[in-house]
Amino acid sequence: MYVAVVVVREYDAKTDSRAVEEVENRCEVGPSGKLSLYTHLLGDPVCRVRHSPASLMLVAEMTVGGGGDDKDKREIVGMIRGCIKTVTCGSKVSRNGKNCPTLPLPLPLYTKLAYILGLRVSPSHRRMGIGLKLVQKMEEWFVDNGAEYSYMATEKDNLPSLELFTGKCGYSQFRTPAILVQPVYAHRVRVSKKATIIKLSPADAEALYRRRFATTEFFPRDIDAILNNKLCLGTFLAVPVGSWSGPDGFLGGSWAVISVWNCMEVFRLEVRGASRVRRALAAGTRAVDRALPWLRLPSVPEVFRPFGFHFLFGLGGDGPDAAGYVRALCGRAHNLARERGCGVVVTEVAKREPLRLGIPHWKRLSCAEDLWCIKRLGEDYSEGCVGDWTKSPPGMSIFVDPRDF
């Protein structure tokens, strides 16, 4: 008689790396379909949480024991990653709804937030409660380290994930941002000559973000660590031609800003399930684009093999021409991704983000409604005490931390 026991423990880089990668490569990201998305780690299973202030990776190990001289068989059948950081969950306002009279600007209220990502269970071991055990063990670590809220992201059509988190773990649907994906073409895209694009130093970028975005929901308190990270390829500011007078004097008219994160150095993606006809058509568009780049024809990148991508974050701006400047910045980001061999450029924005109109993307590759679910882990110890954040209405914008994508 064989007895199977599942133990959830901390990931051991010396012994677990290969087994974790094998499970990752067998698990599709999101719901199954004719075309499925898979993740390829680049030799470091902890890469997706390594750059966060506090992080942990757990694995589920199944041990099958038998009688007689049989040796126990151990197999990793699942894993989960989690991280904790401090983010903005609101702003200080007076009781009558106006800004605090002693403050020139609203001040952010912070909370300690945990994030779950990279939950995987081997296809042959699903519906055995392994995912639930992984989530519960990770939440114990969150609570022990002072996290006040936990959240996760999934596709709205991923019913197994929703059943686990909202049906069994007590999470509630919170925000529905959009993931916008632009292919990287063989040709360079044109960037509007009406905009001057400046690459800001990390210090100037931090000053800008703290000045203009510190009260935006999910804004990370350690924005300086993100901007100074080696994976951050820079922060780019677009302003009218001839208006740039330094980082302290440009905010009077229209402007836009965006930062670029190099995900291709962390992991790769792959689309599986495409027919030979679809692959051939995609290859044909690339061949024409390479042969006739001056025509600037849209082409489908090679996404049917592992490909890398850049993530655009910190999207913001103001003024009547801000959306146009965002488009110029996205053009600059596309050309940078092309130089570095990326397959796509990705960004994520709030459902009601007004600057969304300036972001070029393909609807077929994008996700109109990503779903963020949240759970309150205990009493709210947020600075200033905003009550229960899970019941707060959505704002116009969110700040998507590139370390969480």
**Residue range 34-67, pLDDT digits in tens:** 688 888 888 888 988 999 999 999 999 998 876 5
403 found inside a domain: no
123 found inside a domain: yes
Confidence tier at 382 by pLDDT (50, 70, 90): low
16 found inside a domain: yes
pLDDT one-digit tens code per residue, 198-215? 999 999 999 999 999 999
What's residue 95's pLDDT? 47
Gap between the Cα atoms of 312 and 232, Å rounded: 10
What's residue 330's pLDDT? 98
Asked whether residue 187 falls in the same domain as residue 133, the answer is no
What's residue 363's pLDDT? 93
Give which of 216, 252, 267, 213 is closest to 235, Cα–Cα. Answer: 213
Gap between the Cα atoms of 383 and 90, Å rounded: 10
Asked whether residue 166 falls in the same domain as residue 189, the answer is no
- Distance set, CA 310 to CA 338, 366, 397 (Å): 10, 15, 21
Burial bucket for residue 65 (CB in 10 Å: 0-12, 13-18, 19+): middle
Q: Report whether pLDDT(96) > 50.
A: no
What's residue 252's pLDDT? 65
Report the pLDDT averaged over residues 289-311.
Answer: 94
Domain containing 126 — which CATH number? 3.40.630.30
Give the range among 70-74, 229-233, 291-295, 390-394 with minimum mean pLDDT: 70-74
Core vs surface per residue 343-362: b (16+ CB within 10 A) or e: bbbbbbbbeebebbebbebe
Counted domains in the chain = 2
Q: Report whether pLDDT(398) > 80.
A: yes
Give which of 73, 402, 80 is closest to 234, Cα–Cα. Answer: 402
- Distance set, CA 112 to CA 170, 173, 383 (Å): 19, 19, 10
27 found inside a domain: yes
Asked whether residue 320 falls in the same domain as residue 171, the answer is no
Asked whether residue 252 falls in the same domain as residue 212, the answer is yes
Residue written as tokens 């001056």? 294
Asked whether residue 152 falls in the same domain as residue 201, the answer is no
What's residue 40's pLDDT? 87
Gyration radius of the chain over CA positions: 23
Share of the chain above pLDDT 70, in %: 89
> Residue 313: enclosing H or E segment and its boundaries?
strand 309-318
363 found inside a domain: no
Asked whether residue 171 falls in the same domain as residue 66, the answer is yes
DSSP string of 83-139, one letter each residue: EEEEEEEEE-B-TTSSBPTT-SS--EEEEEEEEEEEEEE-GGG-SSSHHHHHHHHHH
Q: Which residues, in sequence order, are bridge partners of residue 267?
A: 41
Asked whether residue 125 falls in the same domain as residue 263, the answer is no
Gap between the Cα atoms of 402 and 256, Å rounded: 18
Asked whether residue 186 falls in the same domain as residue 171, the answer is no
Asked whether residue 280 falls in the same domain as residue 191, the answer is yes
Asked whether residue 234 falls in the same domain as residue 194, the answer is yes
pLDDT one-digit tens code per residue, 172-201? 999 999 999 999 999 999 999 889 999 999
Three-state DSSP state, 241 = coil
Structural domain of 276: 180-358
Gap between the Cα atoms of 12 and 356, Å rounded: 42
Q: Which residues, in sequence order, are bridge partners of residue 121?
A: 78
DSSP string of 254-298, one letter each residue: -EEEEEEEEGGGTEEEEEE---HHHHHHHHHHHHHHHH-GGG---
Cα separation of the two ends of the chain: 44
pLDDT one-digit tens code per residue, 231-260? 999 999 999 987 666 666 666 689 999 999
404 found inside a domain: no
Neighbours of 5 (CB within 10 A): 11
Asked whether residue 58 falls in the same domain as residue 172, the answer is yes
Gap between the Cα atoms of 165 and 124, Å rounded: 21
Q: Report whether pLDDT(25) > 90.
A: no
- Distance set, CA 78 to CA 21, 127, 128 (Å): 11, 12, 11
Asked whether residue 42 falls in the same domain as residue 130, the answer is yes
151 found inside a domain: yes
Residue written as tokens 């990370």? 220
Residue written as tokens 């632009």? 182
pLDDT one-digit tens code per residue, 302-350? 999 999 999 999 999 999 999 999 999 999 999 999 999 999 999 999 9
Largest CA distance in the chain: 83
365 found inside a domain: no
Say if CB 359 and CB 350 are below 8 A apart.
no
Gap between the Cα atoms of 39 and 268, Å rounded: 6
